[in-house]
Amino acid sequence: MSYELREEDVYGLTRQLTEDWHEKGRELYYKYCPYCNGGDSRDKDTFSINLDTGAYKCFRATCGAQGHFVELARDFHYHLDGLGDNRSRKQYRTFPRQEIVTKQAAIEYMASRGISEEVTRRYKLTVRKDDPNILVFPFCDENGDVRFIKYRKTNFDKTRDKNKEWCEKNTEPILFGVQQCRDFEQLIITEGQIDSLSVAEAGFDNAVSVPTGAMGFTWLDNDHAFDWVHKFKRVIVFGDYENGQMSLLKTLSARLMLPVYHVRYEDYLGEKDANDILRKYGVKAVRACIENAVPCETPHIKRLSEVESVDLNALPKIKTNIRELDRVIGGLVFGQVILLSGKRGEGKSTFMSQLCAEALDQDVPFFAYSGELTDYHFKSWLDMQLAGGENISSCVNEYGDENYFLRDDISTQISAWYADKAYIYDNAFVDDDELSGVIEAAEVAIRRYGVKLVCVDNLMTALDIDPQSDLYRAQSDFVKRLKRLALKYDVAVILVAHPKKSRDDFTNDTVSGSSDITNAVDVVLNYQRAAKESGYDSILTCTKNRIGGKLITNDAPVNLYYSDKSKRIISDSGDKSRRYGCFAESNTEPVREPVSSWEEDYFA
């Protein structure tokens, strides 16, 4: 069966080979070429794979690796369906079995690095016959056979020499020090060979190092070497520590399927590696590094016993003050994403605005993105809701219709009340700055202004993507980013989304777009107009409730009234004389405008 290129295979091998890659057009670029690792100058972004043709190439002249993806998969032992098992052990160069004599020049150089003659001889270090300044590191397997040879120029001069370290071509990548390991208890992995010898000098038997420095992970794709490491009960990573990071750690903790520990950063005592610690502070300091090693944090995994017990009913939340809704979902719980759906023009934005008013009254700052309303329109409706019928003025326009408005002093009083608690995304702001995105702006508002409620109205306008793009994937990614935002900062997020046009009875599948949307959120609410004969203006249902599980169905919805004057929405149990905080202790005289009997009944 022939093989046909699949994008998922290209991405799969890429994730196996490196964590540092990016996509540009239809090309995947690796930070370092997997064949040459960027060479001595550590050239970046010189290796690419084409997603359409499968062609790969390293643009470094001294490397020039190129071919088809199938060859790349073969070289790095990645299985492709249709090609059988292409992970078999690659044929490498072999070396004649002969005794390695440790020469005096090697002993003397290693002594200058704090390594004793006994350790130097045990690890079979020597120098080349043609140049005593070239140190030879033989990488022997558990049977004593040389599989890999590395050289180091001990009198390296960058103005004269091309390379400080290099290795024999076509040799099998294994760890240095395999033959010298005594048991399968714990394995200590360092970046450099002299670092592993420093660990051995401190009295530890199972000290090894990777073949080619910080990016020396080719041995992980050698099935034999990979299996050998997994015979140990645990691994301790003792990489080079620079710029706040330890080399080797991220990759090894992700790739090895056994307990991985690491040297504590404070135990480096300001030095870079094991040999620097040995030379400056001695074997006792190196021993402390190993003895104080701590387990690596495993991404996405924790012990259930370490999870804090929480009373779900006592979780911090924002009350909606619609009693029937709060009874079911408890309120807008921090850390949750609440999806609010409903047909166009039936009041979703108004309902969301009232939830903002409720948040303000509970001293909870909010940030709103309104893709369909101008900022002054959003403010006008919110201010009306906060003011209530008694503080709203009215006049009759030229057509004989009654218009509602707020006096300047009322508007000023409301604005002053929420000045440091209400924020809105500036739709007029156009810039390529990284903070111009909706989620990025929300994160800034959370961190800078203490926002605890984020409102996005609505999903489609917030995405603002090219019509030719993968819309469903963009929707899914956006909602997942909102969920991460909610969890990261413990805030509540309200997301408005439209339902599909063809459906009348609302279900979670009715939400327009990817099914991932309703899967990712915690609560799904639907707001829609009520039947005329019901006597109500709108109804509210809850078709998903992740915490409590209770739902509000179409058979028994929350019945709601809407005031065209104050824009307020209340249920049968609502407080008909509600005063928000901006007027709770105010001496402002009510406007005393005549209102309809309906308004008097429900919104005094």
In this structure, are strands 453-457 and 366-370 parallel, antiparallel, or unpaired? parallel
d(CA 458, CA 371): 6
What is the predicted pLDDT for the residue at 507?
66
What is the predicted pLDDT for the residue at 588?
53
What is the predicted pLDDT for the residue at 382?
96
Choice among 120-129, 317-326, 462-471, 588-597 with the minimum mean pLDDT = 588-597
> How many other CB atoms sit within 10 Å of the CB of residue 600?
12
Q: Which residue has the higher pLDDT, 215 or 598?
A: 215
Examine the pLDDT at 597 and tell me if it is beyond 90: no
DSSP assignment string, 283-299: HHHHHHHHHT-EEPPPT
Residues 16 and 76 sit within 8 Å (Cβ to Cβ): yes
What is the predicted pLDDT for the residue at 270?
96
3-state secondary structure of 562: strand
Examine the pLDDT at 431 and tell me if it is beyond 80: no
What is the predicted pLDDT for the residue at 599?
45
DSSP one-letter code for 219: G
- The domains of the chain, with CATH numbers, are 7-75 (no CATH), 104-295 (3.40.1360.10), 313-602 (3.40.50.300)
What is the predicted pLDDT for the residue at 543?
93
DSSP one-letter code for 344: T
In the predicted model, what is the mean pLDDT of residues 285-297? Answer: 95
d(CA 511, CA 83): 43
Examine the pLDDT at 89 and tell me if it is beyond 50: no
Helix, strand, coil share of the chain (percent; to 5):
35, 20, 45
Q: Which residue has the higher pLDDT, 437 or 375?
A: 375
pLDDT class for 42, splitting at 50, 70, 90? confident
Choice among 296-305, 385-394, 479-488 with the minimum mean pLDDT = 296-305
> Apex CA 11: angle with CA 483 and CA 477, to 5°?
20
In the predicted model, what is the mean pLDDT of residues 541-554? Answer: 92
Choice among 43-57, 219-233, 341-355, 469-483 with the minimum mean pLDDT = 469-483
Q: Which residue has the higher pLDDT, 180 or 90?
A: 180
Choice among 46-50, 102-106, 219-223, 454-458 with the minimum mean pLDDT = 219-223
Closest CA to 478 of 465, 489, 491, 492: 465
Examine the pLDDT at 298 and tell me if it is beyond 70: yes
d(CA 446, CA 457): 18
What is the predicted pLDDT for the residue at 90?
58
Examine the pLDDT at 88 and tell me if it is beyond 70: no
Tens of pLDDT, residues 122-165: 999 999 999 999 999 999 999 999 999 999 999 999 889 888 99
Closest CA to 247 of 222, 265, 223, 233: 265
pLDDT class for 261, splitting at 50, 70, 90? very high
Tens of pLDDT, residues 438-451: 898 999 999 999 99
Q: Which residue has the tokens 């660990």?
A: 199
What is the predicted pLDDT for the residue at 433?
44
Mean pLDDT of the chain: 88
Tell me phi and psi for residue 602, to 5 degrees: -115, -20
pLDDT class for 600, splitting at 50, 70, 90? very low
d(CA 415, CA 582): 9
In the predicted model, what is the mean pLDDT of residues 364-373? Answer: 91
In the predicted model, what is the mean pLDDT of residues 180-187? Answer: 96
In the predicted model, what is the mean pLDDT of residues 397-425? Answer: 94
Q: Which residue has the higher pLDDT, 464 or 22?
A: 22
| Cα torsion 326, 330, 332, 337: sign | negative
pLDDT class for 83, splitting at 50, 70, 90? low
Q: Which residue has the higher pLDDT, 70 or 122?
A: 122
Examine the pLDDT at 603 and tell me if it is beyond 80: no
